[in-house]
């Protein structure tokens, strides 16, 4: 479990891991980044309370670096990746191990079940759980068990990781997708089991959400630069939306200034149609059952969806053109998370 500024979530996350009903020895290795909110002190307390909690320092604060440090410190043949913003059901690991054997897979993952407490966080959770929000990946609400492109978090065979290599430490976002690409290219299965669900608590504020999705989009652009056709077509929808909006702005300026007029202006107005269709889709999702119960929730849903799409899409365009370089997700820096009830 990589950890950075998670004081409000860490205790519950650790409790659900330690409560796993597994027939065999287990350990939980926390890779501690340089937190500023007391998270490391809490982690040390948790380690003193239970010898299964092992601490390793991750001064770089990068997720793939922390994951590799934790994996190398591990003693057992199965790696269960967990997140400090997640909660597991008691039988999660047992059922994942059974799925590994049943499917003869190298990595098994399930559904990211996002939840929220505030109106904003609930709106983000609805976006995560909707195929409109994050593009319909299997772990965002899939129902059909089978081979998958990637796995959310993942329960992995250590021997396969040793063979293909651990997480690529040059990739700061999307590192799980890239690792699963190598696993699949080595001839192993990545398996999706919808009966496995992990509770995930998304970002709590607008600025943190924008920073998270901008960084993720930029790294996806970098991954397209590196791996080309290995990337799913669904990743290109948000940048296509951003480019369409930019083109519409240019066309609008040219129409208003009279540079294009008459039938040429009418023909150019076709560029507005995808934007109108997108706005109608967002409105339909927000107003419909998926938008929440009250009008406040529905309005937040209508605001959150384009925020996620546009920040991710713009980050993708920048990453594709310029690369990701040292881009990091700063949405956890200086966090003051409210403890869960």
pTM surpassing 0.85? yes
Q: In a 3-state reduction of DSSP, which class is residue 285? A: helix
Q: Are residues 54 and 10 in the same domain?
A: yes
Q: Are residues 156 and 290 in the same domain?
A: no
pLDDT at 334: 56
Q: Report CA dihedral (211, 215, 216, 220) to the nearest 10 degrees.
A: 150
The answer to whether the CB of 323 falls within 8 A of the CB of 219 is: no
Q: What is the pLDDT along the chain (341 residues), one digit of tens a residue?
A: 999 999 999 999 999 999 999 989 999 999 999 999 999 999 999 999 999 999 999 998 899 999 999 999 999 999 999 999 999 999 999 999 999 999 999 999 999 999 998 889 999 999 998 888 876 565 666 678 999 999 999 999 999 999 999 999 999 999 999 999 999 999 999 999 999 999 999 998 999 999 999 999 999 999 999 998 788 888 999 999 999 999 999 999 999 999 999 999 999 999 999 999 999 999 999 998 877 778 888 899 999 999 999 999 999 999 999 999 888 888 877 544 444 33
Residue 214 lies in a domain: no
The answer to whether the CB of 327 falls within 8 A of the CB of 316 is: no
The answer to whether the CB of 97 falls within 8 A of the CB of 24 is: no
Q: Are residues 104 and 8 in the same domain?
A: yes
Q: Are residues 142 and 197 in the same domain?
A: yes
The answer to whether the CB of 96 falls within 8 A of the CB of 194 is: no
The answer to whether the CB of 76 falls within 8 A of the CB of 83 is: no
Tokens, residue 206: 């607008």
* Cα first-last separation, the chain: 22
In CATH, what number is assigned to the domain containing residue 108? 3.90.550.10
Strand order in the sheet with 53-57: 2-3, 28-32, 53-57
Q: Are residues 144 and 25 in the same domain?
A: yes
Residue 72 lies in a domain: yes
Interstrand relation of 86-88 and 190-200 (parallel, antiparallel or unpaired): antiparallel
Residue 223 lies in a domain: no
> Which of 186, 202, 218 is the C-terminal boundary of a domain?
202
Residue 340 lies in a domain: no
Residue 190 lies in a domain: yes
Q: Are residues 71 and 163 in the same domain?
A: yes
pLDDT at 336: 44
Phi and psi at 50, nearest 5°, equal -145, 120
> Which of 202, 217, 252 is the C-terminal boundary of a domain?
202
Residue 105 lies in a domain: yes
Q: How far is CA 121 from CA 124, 209, 217, 241, 295, in A?
A: 5, 10, 20, 24, 15
Q: Which domain holds residue 23?
A: 2-202
Q: Are residues 151 and 77 in the same domain?
A: yes
The answer to whether the CB of 143 falls within 8 A of the CB of 194 is: yes
pLDDT at 135: 62
Q: Are residues 98 and 185 in the same domain?
A: yes
Q: Are residues 30 and 78 in the same domain?
A: yes
pLDDT at 142: 66
Residue 331 lies in a domain: no
Q: Are residues 54 and 96 in the same domain?
A: yes
Residue 220 lies in a domain: no
Q: Are residues 56 and 192 in the same domain?
A: yes
Q: Are residues 18 and 100 in the same domain?
A: yes
How many domains are there within the chain?
A: 2
């Amino acid at each position: 479990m990589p950890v950075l500024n998670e004081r409000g979530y860490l205790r519950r996350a650790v409790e659900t891991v330690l409560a796993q009903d597994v027939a065999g020895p287990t350990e939980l290795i926390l890779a501690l980044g340089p937190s500023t909110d007391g998270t490391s002190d809490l982690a040390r307390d948790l380690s003193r309370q239970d010898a299964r909690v092992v601490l390793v320092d991750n001064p770089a604060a990068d997720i793939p670096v922390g994951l590799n440090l934790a994996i190398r410190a591990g003693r057992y043949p199965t790696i269960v990746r967990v997140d400090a913003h997640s909660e597991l059901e008691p039988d999660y690991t047992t059922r994942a191990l059974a799925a590994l054997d049943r499917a003869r897979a190298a990595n098994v993952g399930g559904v990211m079940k996002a939840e929220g407490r505030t109106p904003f966080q609930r709106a983000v959770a609805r976006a995560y759980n909707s195929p409109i929000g994050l593009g319909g990946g299997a772990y965002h609400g899939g129902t059909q068990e089978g081979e998958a492109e990637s796995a959310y978090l993942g329960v992995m065979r250590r021997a396969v990781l040793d063979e293909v290599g651990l997480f690529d430490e040059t990739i700061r976002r999307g590192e799980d997708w890239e690792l699963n690409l190598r696993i699949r290219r080595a001839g192993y299965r990545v398996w999706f089991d919808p009966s496995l669900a992990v509770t995930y608590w998304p970002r709590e504020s607008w600025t943190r959400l924008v920073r998270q999705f901008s960084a993720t989009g930029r790294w996806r652009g970098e991954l397209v630069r590196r791996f080309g056709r290995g990337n799913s077509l669904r990743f290109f929808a948000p940048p296509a939306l951003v480019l369409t909006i930019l083109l519409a702005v240019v066309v609008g300026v040219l129409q208003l200034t009279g540079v294009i007029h008459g039938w040429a202006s009418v023909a150019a107005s076709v560029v507005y149609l995808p934007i109108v269709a997108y706005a109608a889709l967002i409105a339909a999702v927000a107003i419909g059952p998926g938008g929440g119960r009250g009008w406040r929730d529905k309005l937040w849903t209508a605001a959150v969806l384009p925020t996620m799409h546009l920040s991710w899409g713009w980050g993708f365009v920048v990453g594709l053109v310029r690369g990701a370089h040292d881009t990091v997700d700063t949405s956890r820096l200086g966090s003051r998370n409210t403890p869960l009830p």
